[in-house]
Amino acid sequence: MTKKRVAVLISGRGSNMSALVEAAKHADYPAEIVAVIANKADAGGLEVAHLEGIPAIAIPHRNYASKSEHEAAVCAALVEAKADIVCLAGYMRIISPEFVAQWEGKMLNIHPSLLPLFKGLHTHEQALEAGVRVHGCTVHFVTAGMDDGPIIAQTAVPVKTGDTPDMLAKRVLSVEHETYTRALALVAQGKAVMKDGRTVFSD
């Protein structure tokens, strides 16, 4: 089996990135993590990746005069890493349509809500405010719209009486890792493919 080469883009602690790294250690997992790139020099996940022996690259957006120059630097790092697939894992930057187009069908994101509900920030507050009784996470192909794009995998969790946003965030995070691992495997194996703006599943 040829494993797909995956680069993970992060902005913070990188617990989803760590979950993908752990999954990829298994011989039968269809992907390997070849680079971790952060747009913040102090992203905690960089140290984790470095300790795992994975190239951990800081490309701080603040060091660039424009979004396009920053994205060009990120793209260069992706090419250098020979990445086949890009996983956004808590990467808190809006990606330009040009960048998205270059990676169409090959860029995934995890979002802490059951999309299309609760796009953007503060999803757990949004869920509590809306009074939903189930909440969860979504892994989807990245398209030009924010937190948009064909869905690959979702997992629901209950909303419990007395939940605070933090309590809900922890419950959702506890299912994010498995959901992302499963979704990436589907894409790496070609069992989930983006076609005409939808995810087509096989097998």
Cβ 149 vs Cβ 143: under 8 Å: yes
The site for ligand GAR (CB under 6 A) is made up of 10, 12-16, 89-90, 110-112, 137, 147, 173, 176
Of the pair 146, 200, the CB lying nearest ligand GAR is at 146
Of the pair 50, 80, the CB lying nearest ligand GAR is at 50
Of the pair 81, 89, the CB lying nearest ligand GAR is at 89
- Closest contact distance (angstroms) between CB of 125 and ligand GAR is 12
Shortest-Cβ-distance residue relative to ligand GAR: 90
Exposure string of 82-115, with b = 16+ CB inside 10 Å and e = fewer, is: ebbbbbbbbbebebeeebbebbebbbbbbbbbbb
111 is catalytic: yes
Task: State the pairing for strand pair 151-158/31-38.
Answer: unpaired
- Closest contact distance (angstroms) between CB of 52 and ligand GAR is 15
> C-alpha dihedral over 180, 181, 184, 190, to 10 degrees?
-130
Q: Residue 127 and residue 123: Cα distance in Å, rounded?
A: 6
Sequence-distant (≥ 6) Cβ neighbours of residue 64 within 8 angstroms:
70, 73
Of the pair 4, 140, the CB lying nearest ligand GAR is at 140
Which run of H or E residues covers position 80? Answer: helix 67-80
- Closest contact distance (angstroms) between CB of 2 and ligand GAR is 27
Out of 26, 50, 70, 111, the active site residue is 111
- Closest contact distance (angstroms) between CB of 141 and ligand GAR is 14
Catalytic residue IDs:
111
